[in-house]
Amino acid sequence: MIKILIADDHAIVRQGLKQTVAEEPDMTVAGEAQNAQETLKLVREQEWDVIVLDITMPGRSGLDLLIELKREHPNLPVLILSMHSEEQFAVRA
């Protein structure tokens, strides 16, 4: 079973992702976070197969969080979500 953590400040986005993942028999959303602090706490407390990370969250950006996540867990896959179409965000990620 693929264990997924969703980190997004919008509850409706988290809910939509959970519904989509629920249709996959080998995947489960085992945790949700609405900001960088919650995300780090969950990552440090449990093992994850993948994180779905919003690039724009209140307080600390998803890109800044990504740097810390990769420093602590370099092999942890992170899927970046963004409403931004600018290439600069993709390059930074």
pTM listed for this prediction? 0.87
Q: What is the mean pLDDT of residues 44-53?
A: 98
Report pLDDT for 81. Answer: 83
Supply the mean pLDDT for the chain. Answer: 90
Q: Residue 88 above 70 pLDDT?
A: no
Q: What is the mean pLDDT of residues 6-18?
A: 96
Query: What is the DSSP code (8-state) at residue 59?
Result: S
Q: What is the mean pLDDT of residues 6-27?
A: 97
CA dihedral 35, 66, 55, 16 (to 10 degrees): -70
Domains of the chain: 2-92 (3.40.50.2300)
Report pLDDT for 83. Answer: 62
Query: What is the rounded radius of gyration, in angstroms, for the C-alpha atoms of the chain?
Result: 13
